[in-house]
Amino acid sequence: MDQLDILVDGYVNYLLVEKGLSEKTIEAYSRDLAEYISFIKRSKINNVSDKDATVILKHLIELRDVGLAARSRARHLVTLRGFYKFLVHEKVLKSDPTKIIDLPKSGLRLPDVLSIGDIKTLISMPDVKTPRGLRDCAMLELLYAAGLRVSELINIKLQSVNIEAGFVRVYGKGSKERVVPIGLYAKEKIDNYIKHGRSIVLKNQASKYLFVARAGKPMTRQGFWKLIKKYGVKAGIGKVITPHSLRHSFASHLIEGGADLRSVQIMLGHVDISSTQIYTHVAHEHLRKMHEKFHPRG
């Protein structure tokens, strides 16, 4: 293997082990990367660089010229963004050249939004007569109630949930902290899990995490991915369900119900909020009222 192939192999392994992506998704990424590496080698380029923006643009232009649709070219760019971001993270490169490249017009299709009925069915699938079922039910409910990323969900600390006030504190991208309302349903499910399930799952061990798996450790992304997939199949929902499906459904249902975009952005963590100190009592109250008014399970 030459250096380029080693880097690609490392990235594909990262997608498989760290990200827990499906085989089909990894196959699609691998095909896109293979085309890009082939283009690089045909261009007499021996390795990747911080200055590859021009190379990437030429590759996208070549894909356009052979008739590839904008949506497919956008998928290629997303693949390359992930690849270069990985190389920066691994300190192979100092900067990401894809940051200055926009998606081809028409962009990517948004993820499927689950109906409110599908959400209700999905959340009812765990067997709440068991401790792990109580945990799984609370996780699904909270994921949808607060629109969390899966990494945020599995890393929530026990002390970060205020059931009485109806808020959860999470740490998003860049370790930015935000406070999100969780609604009555999630409050009930989390409280039930803490009182009747968590200590049994822990087997009398100590853990700072709200949702625990073996030896008091948090559940892995892959572990939760498998859970949500299992419950989706059990619910008979004819869509591929991922943790992001519930996050996207959360935002879509709020906006469709009439919530203002600014409030939804804050709850999703898309706004640069570095500390909860900027949240005044009025801001907290406004978010709580918006959540109760517009969220289907508020």
Residue of 71, 270, 284, 286 with catalytic role: 270
Query: Tell me, what DSSP letter sits at residue 95?
Result: S
Q: Does 135 qualify as catalytic in the annotation?
A: no
Would you say 137 and 119 are in contact if contact means Cβ atoms under 8 Å apart? no
Residue at 289: amino acid letter: K
- Give bridge partners of residue 168 from the DSSP assignment: 161, 180
What would the DSSP string read from start to end of 27-86? HHHHHHHHHHHHHHHHTT--S--TTTHHHHHHHHHHHHHTT--HHHHHHHHHHHHHHHHH
| Residues in contact with 129: Cβ distance below 8 Å, sequence separation at least 6, in sequence order | none
Q: Is 247 a catalytic residue?
A: yes
Catalytic residue among 41, 173, 196, 262: 173
288 is catalytic: no
**Residue 282 tokens, joined:** 């009025």
Considering the candidates 85, 132, 279, 286, report the single residue annotated as catalytic. Answer: 279
Q: Catalytic site residue 171?
A: no
Q: Is 244 considered catalytic here?
A: yes
Contact at 8 Å (CB) between 243 and 167?
Answer: no
User: Which residue in the list 59, 135, 149, 198 is annotated as catalytic?
Assistant: 149
Among 178, 247, 248, 291, which one carries the catalytic annotation?
247
Tokens of 213: 């798996």
**Residue of 196, 217, 244, 293 marked active site:** 244
Catalytic (active site) residue 270: yes
Active site residues: 149, 173, 244, 247, 270, 279
